[in-house]
Structure 1
Amino acid sequence: MPALDTKAILQGRKPGRSTSLTIGIIVGTLCTLGMIGYLLVSGLAHGGVHGILGFLLSLLAAVIPVAILIPLILLLDRLEPEPGRLLVFAFLWGAGVAVVVSLILNTLGMEAVAVPVFGADVGEMVSTAAVAPVVEESAKGIVLLLLLWRRRHEIDSYTDGVTYAAMVATGFAFTENVLYFLSSFFEEGFFGLVFTFVLRGLIAPFGHPIYTAMIGIGVAYAAMNRGRLRLLAPVAGWVAAVLLHAMWNGSTFFGWAGLGAAYLVLFFVLLGIIVIAVQDRRRQVAAISYHLPAYIPTGLVTPADIRMLSSMKGRRGARAWAQRNAGQRGRQAMKDYQLAATELALLHQRLDRGVARPHWEGRRDNFLALMHVAREAFLGRVQQPVAPGWAATPTDSGFLRRADFAHVIASAQEQREQREQGARPSSGRHRGAGQRYRSHGDPRHGRGNPG
């Protein structure tokens, strides 16, 4: 039987590379390289060797906020981390596609509309405080709508929406910072670049991520809920993002007092986002504790394992334990096990909300199959059972209990092949994969009698 595609199972897609995602990454990369090349040529044209030096300093300065922001963004979503390729796509969209679109439209808006209508001074203010926020938040927000359309099932919490939004915005801020730093270098020299870096890179590096996070929250609401409000949520998020962005841009015309007031508002918005992330973490832990006990009869999870899965400290300890006993392969197996178990709990959470995809039973069986395969990969390297730190004895952990679960893997493989052929799975076969759970209680309701 072919090996299971771990990433495909966790992401809820067909096995193999996603062609559309690969194309998106390529387009984003080309646009990003195009913008960086354009800025390099601009530096060379304005100052020759001196301009190239300014470009290199600007590029280095722009990397520093990115190196600070990305780890903080990923820290928000540690319990159920988003697929790396999707995060890369989001970053490249912001750094390339969104910047190119914004540069073109902002320039046209200022030269063709704002300045001719309002004059040079007022036109610049209108373009900065009104046109730019609308254009830039729209350019960044499009990719979040694409994710909502194509990868809705990946967005299980508001934190997921914030994570994708922050990655898009961080990419956008990276390329925009190179542009601003280089402009300051030409206008005011090295000290002008340093001043702009301190203002944009150190004092207010969270600006773009905070604005676009509003769209991410709206998109997350649309992904997690039903009803008419879900259609309005992304629009409301976009409006909030534009208003925050306009407030910050407009504050620059009122000196340090204006910047201070705007900074204070953004600080409290950031605190609100952190509170949302904390609440999301609690809801995810509650989903693990509530829904996974129904799967105790499978032998793949025990009460001790559920306690381990419900804390970041327990998860880290389990991965370290697996690495000590089976090397890097064991650590990866434990990571796959933890992610599959978490996704299983979140699948039932989506069922409770009424937003699960059709044929959710196939995804359930795939997660269980992955948990089984991950455990077997680890056990193949262990000479004898070793009691994990979260369980009193080896038999207290489902990760170390060998059980005959081949029928789940076979069922998942068969259903996948049938879906690819456009046929519906056989109801009889599906019962064979799920009967064991229903005999102990229906997991769809999150409860079951472990026997």
Structure 2
Amino acid sequence: MSLPDPRYAPPQQQPRPARRFDPRAVLDGRPPGRAPVGAIVTIVVASLCLFAVLALTALQGIAPFGAGLLLALVPLGVWIPVVLWLDRLEPEPPMSLTVAFLWGAGVATLFAMLLNDAGLRFVALPLFGPENAMYAVATAGAPVVEELLKGAVLFGMLWFRRHEINGWTDGVIYAAMVALGFAAVENITYFVAASYTGTLTSTFVLRALISPLLHPLCTALTGIGVASAAMSPPGPRRVLAPLGGLLAAMALHALWNGSTGFGYVGLGFAYLVGLGVLVTIVVLLVRDRRRTVATISQQLGRYVPSGLVTPPDLTMLSSLKGRRQARGWARSSGGAGAEKAMNDYQRAATELALLHDRVARGATEPARVEPRRQGLLGLMDVTRHAFVVRAPQPTPPPWSPHAPSGFTPAPPHRTY
């Protein structure tokens, strides 16, 4: 199956006034003018859960809580920029990233605390006694509970927002945001407890410096499984891939927690396994980026006859360096408004290419994505027109100094 004739044509429905055109809605894949109610409700609920966890922790002492909060922000200040840097080629909607982070920080953390405490009190203590109960919960209970809770939002996205997951990179990005939120709040509780036992320094070194990627690495396995399912046609893989990723996440988490019972040998083995997982994820991300770049060149070439893109524009869109140069050229030619128009054009073009890729893979049916295709085409046309209005006589674009580009002539403008 394939999408309709790719030559550019306006949608069949009556045109809407330009003032109602909503680029953010088009890029996010939701109907224009309609608030993302599900995301808003999730953010509110997760924020309430986060407030409850922080309030309970603060009751143990305001000063230790303040110190723990500040120390927990240190890893976030390092790793969130790294995650966003990985997300440059096809940035995920900010609201979806916020949902993922707050779910991990609020919902997953609160219910993990409650369930782990219940498992300790009612299962581990009666079965293993006070000496071994904590180790049993950390090794057998916490990995299952925590990875299930963190992974729940990823499974929810697979069910409700499948179109936002276009590759392994997306799965890793969302998983990392969930896990970083969970780890940050969990670190606060550990730092507060450590401040009363005189082990705050060692606890900070262990959790913030030695093992800051434990939760992101584990949950990334679930994210890769979910992404594999989102990219696959209907079949067993849609079920087995996310379940396999979740089980792998639980196993890695249990291995790390259980390694503490075997001294330096166990810890060293856990580190080797974790390093192997990290290298594997990096290789998958590199391959996924190459696939995305190839997809842009392959899938958008069909739109050259429409005038929405030219061969030099495809070269620009297929390179992070070229995209960055194009945004800089747009800003110098027409200011911040022209730069935003270029940025929206680049994002819409990438989403359009990935949309065609999903259809080619059999992951979705053409009829289901045709409205989104038309919206992305409309956004590309509107942003080109907006650029020309702000920069009617720009200097030759750096990616196409002599060949024609869709941003040098004044393209015909259609209203959607």
TM range (shorter): over 0.9
State the AA in 1 paired with 2:230. A
Deviation at 1:92, TM superposition (A): 0.3
Tell whether 2:24 aligns with 1:7.
yes
Q: Deviations over 1:41-77 (max 9, x none)?
A: 122xxxxxxxx22211111110010111111112222
Q: 1:59 aligns with which of 42, 51, 69?
A: 69
Find the counterpart in structure 1 of residue 190 from structure 2.
Answer: 180
Deviation at 1:168, TM superposition (A): 0.3
Residues 94 and 170 of structure 1 are in contact (CA less than 8 Å); yes or no, is this contact kept in structure 2?
yes
Tell whether 2:136 aligns with 1:126.
yes
What is the distance in 2 between the residues matched to 1:127 and 1:385?
64
Residues 175 and 220 of structure 2 are in contact (CA less than 8 Å); yes or no, is this contact kept in structure 1?
yes
Residues 338 and 391 of structure 2 are in contact (CA less than 8 Å); yes or no, is this contact kept in structure 1?
no
Residues 159 and 280 of structure 1 are in contact (CA less than 8 Å); yes or no, is this contact kept in structure 2?
yes
Find the counterpart in structure 2 of residue 281 from structure 1.
Answer: 289
Q: 2:94 aligns with which of 84, 92, 95?
A: 84
Q: Deviations over 1:85-123 (max 9, x none)?
A: 100110000001000110000000011011101211222
Secondary structure in 1 matching 2:31: coil
Q: 1:217 aligns with which of 193, 216, 224?
A: 224
Deviation at 1:383, TM superposition (A): 4.3
Tell whether 2:206 aligns with 1:195.
no
- After TM superposition, the score normalised by the length of structure 1 is 0.86
- Pick 1 or 2: higher relative contact order, CA cutoff 8 A, min separation 6: 2
What is the distance in 1 between the residues matched to 2:114 and 2:42?
20
Find the counterpart in structure 1 of residue 115 from structure 2.
Answer: 105
Find the counterpart in structure 2 of residue 365 from structure 1.
Answer: 374
Residues 214 and 240 of structure 1 are in contact (CA less than 8 Å); yes or no, is this contact kept in structure 2?
yes
Deviation at 1:31, TM superposition (A): 1.2
Q: 2:407 aligns with which of 392, 399, 414?
A: 399
Secondary structure in 1 matching 2:20: coil
- After TM superposition, the score normalised by the length of structure 2 is 0.93
Secondary structure in 1 matching 2:116: helix
Find the counterpart in structure 1 of residue 42 from structure 2.
Answer: 24
Q: Deviations over 1:337-393 (max 9, x none)?
A: 000011111011001111225332222221111011111112111241321111124
State the AA in 2 paired with 1:7. R
Q: For the aligned residues, what is the CA RMSD?
A: 1.3
State the AA in 1 paired with 2:40. T
State the AA in 1 paired with 2:325. G
Judge which range, 254-263 or 312-321, deviates more: 254-263
Secondary structure in 2 matching 1:143: helix
1:13-412 to structure 2, matched below 5 A, reads: 13-15=30-32, 16-43=34-61, 52-188=62-198, 192-226=199-233, 227-357=235-365, 358-393=367-402, 396-406=404-414, 409-410=415-416
What is the distance in 1 between the residues matched to 2:43 and 2:247?
28
Gaps of 5+ in 1: 44-51, 411-451
Residues 385 and 411 of structure 2 are in contact (CA less than 8 Å); yes or no, is this contact kept in structure 1?
no
Residues 369 and 405 of structure 1 are in contact (CA less than 8 Å); yes or no, is this contact kept in structure 2?
no
Find the counterpart in structure 1 of residue 3 from structure 2.
Answer: none
Deviation at 1:8, TM superposition (A): 1.3
What is the distance in 2 between the residues matched to 1:383 and 1:355?
41
Percent identity at matched positions?
A: 50
Gaps of 5+ in 2: 1-16
What is the distance in 2 between the residues matched to 1:405 and 1:331?
19
Larger radius of gyration: 1
Secondary structure in 1 matching 2:60: helix
State the AA in 1 paired with 2:71. A
What is the distance in 1 between the residues matched to 2:364 and 2:380?
21
Residues 300 and 399 of structure 1 are in contact (CA less than 8 Å); yes or no, is this contact kept in structure 2?
no
State the AA in 2 paired with 1:79. L
Find the counterpart in structure 1 of residue 10 from structure 2.
Answer: none
Distance 1:405 1:330, change over 3 A: closer
Q: Deviations over 1:159-216 (max 9, x none)?
A: 101110110000000000001111111111xxx2121111110111110000001110
Secondary structure in 2 matching 1:398: coil
